[in-house]
Structure 1
Amino acid sequence: MTKKRGLGKGLDALIPVVEPDLAGSLRQIPVNSVRPNPRQPRQLLDDARLEELASSIREHGVVQPIVVRPLPGGQYELIAGERRWRACLSLGEEFIPALVRDYDEVEAAAVTLIENIQREDLNPLEEAMAYRRLIDEFGMTQEELARKVGKSRSFIANTMRLLGLPDEVREMLGNGQITAGHARAVLSLEDADKQIAAAREVVAAGLNVRDTEELVRRYAGQDGDQQEKKGRRSGSGSVSHTNEEMESMEAMLGGALGTAVHIRSRRGGTGVIEICYESRAQLEEIISLLLR
């Protein structure tokens, strides 16, 4: 009996535990027959951790097999276990234990992403770029992707929003100077220069996320004061509200749509609701939700 595979239930659902009836797919394959995964979302490998793993493999061997899928000509594409494979390469090992799976492109990409997420190998930007790549390359909606990787749709949407940060702030996030929580708070500022200024202040002062949210409210309040003065001079204009009621409504609507939402009140009780999207697929998904 073969164990059934499914997406959206975590790595164990995609890579079953090795049992006697699955032994046919577990084999020793030449280390040099394995090709790196072009969909690998992790961009940096920790050399110290790689050396530590190589020392363990030298003493105990490879305890957990890598996961590959077959390619023409007796070659294999690495799906999961890049560090184990690279450690074996560095040791000059001839063979490595591998689970051979006939994954299609979507499954292969999902398994690679899930393994990295569950091992906490990705920084927030790498995770966001991996989600974006799965959506762009395979035409998936955020909801479909969320099911495949076992996350909520709002989590996927909020993670991908990080890609909209200015390069300098993205670099701070990528090298660990700020966390995803800091970045999401900074992202609520509309002006890129203010996002950069706020992020710099966060790093310089060592602010936690709550303090960062307060800092962002001060920046947003400055914008609101300027817009209000401009509106009084011209007799019209948009005033950006930052009070708790408006923030609560923005958060509630943004959570329902899985994206950033900004509400701006105008004189006379009118206003504007701004809904952000990052791709045609996300736009179509938002429209579908609004039309339900």
Structure 2
Amino acid sequence: MTKAIKKQALGRGLSALLKDPENDIKSVEDKNADKVVGNIIELELDAIEINPFQPRTNFNEDSLQELATSIKELGVIQPITVRKLDFNKFQLISGERRLRASKLAGLTSVPAYIRIANDNESLVMALVENIQRHDLDPIEIALSYQRLIDEIQLTQEQMSDRVGKKRSTIANYLRLLKLDPIIQTGIRDGFISMGHGRAIINIEDQDAQADIYQKIVSQNLSVRETETLVKNYQESLKPAPAKPAKGNSFAIDESEKKAIGSYFGTKVDVKMAGNGKGKITIPFHSEEDFNRIIKLIKG
């Protein structure tokens, strides 16, 4: 308990330092920067603005109210993270849910980690920290990854290092953005899971995607049932196997092959095709043997 009280008091002391115009810290090289940057400071809510790079767009009101009730009883256990913009002005990097709940709880200040970052660094920190720490829906995560690619030019390998996820996992999230927008909304709203979406994405035609999505929702299909449905659809697109041409095929007995061989005095080779055509091969071993066979053919 004593440790918690000291920590809170320290934060309030540093908060006063930030309000002193003579100690306006703008970079890590400034005087007293080491006392502020990376430390937990009690910040007034009015001094904090929402981060425009925040990937989360949906906040469950019931869940926020539950968190607000918890904050009223226990306080903000995990500090938010902000970056310093100007004198006594800060922008949220991560912790918007805690910030919103703190306002609902009637707080006037919250504990916050102070960082100094440019817009690109802020975007990376906001997206990475939110991906790691919050229960974003799969589409929000996919959009966060896409923004890191588009705006920061991070490769999937670099993102893998930043967020601690396998490259294949990142690729699977990004593929969801190729789904029909209606299906993406269905994932965000919880009508279907990411597993359903990963199965549907194997279909290129978006109209077909939408049809299968409707079946999943109306019939409450599982992911495995969806995979089977997609597989059956893909099988239906394959061209029917060509039917063998009808012919006048017939069988030749071994006795008939022997009779031919006996006539020519050598072992002949008889091959048949499926259309009733074939060929007979008569081997010879010398010019004399060849002439003998010719005489037999001529009769």
Q: What TM bracket, shorter-length normalisation?
A: 0.5 to 0.7
Distance 1:72 1:51, change over 3 A: same
CA distance in 2, matches of 1:42, 1:57: 21
Instruction: Structure 2: state its 5+ residue gaps.
Output: 1-33, 244-299
RMSD: 2.1
Classify the secondary structure of the residue corresponding to 1:39. coil
Q: TM-score, normalised by structure 2?
A: 0.64
Q: After TM superposition, where is structure 1 displaced by more than 6 Å over at least 4 residues in a row?
A: none
**1:149 matched to 2:158:** no
- Matched residue, 1:98: 112
Using the TM superposition, give the Cα deviation of residue 120 of structure 1 relative to its aligned residue in structure 2, in angstroms.
Answer: 4.5
How many residues align? The count is: 208
Map 1:41-120 → 2, pairs under 5 A: 41-120=55-134
Residues 132 and 163 of structure 2 are in contact (CA less than 8 Å); yes or no, is this contact kept in structure 1?
no
CA distance in 1, matches of 2:35, 2:98: 20
Classify the secondary structure of the residue corresponding to 1:99. strand
Instruction: Structure 1: state its 5+ residue gaps.
Output: 1-21, 233-292
- Matched residue, 2:153: 139
Which structure has more relative contact order (CA 8 Å, sep 6+)? It is 1
Map 1:1-292 → 2, pairs under 5 A: 24=36, 25-225=39-239, 228=240
Q: TM-score, normalised by structure 1?
A: 0.66
- The one-letter amino acid paired with 1:130 is S
Residues 139 and 177 of structure 2 are in contact (CA less than 8 Å); yes or no, is this contact kept in structure 1?
yes
Residues 143 and 153 of structure 1 are in contact (CA less than 8 Å); yes or no, is this contact kept in structure 2?
yes
Q: Deviations over 1:210-261 (max 9, x none)?
A: 1111100111111113xx48x99xxxxxxxxxxxxxxxxxxxxxxxxxxxxx
Q: Deviations over 1:134-178 (max 9, x none)?
A: 110111111111211111112112211111111221121111111
CA distance in 1, matches of 2:186, 2:104: 32
- Percent of pairs with identical residues: 40
Residues 42 and 121 of structure 1 are in contact (CA less than 8 Å); yes or no, is this contact kept in structure 2?
no
Rg larger in structure: 2
CA distance in 2, matches of 1:115, 1:49: 20
CA distance in 1, matches of 2:219, 2:60: 28
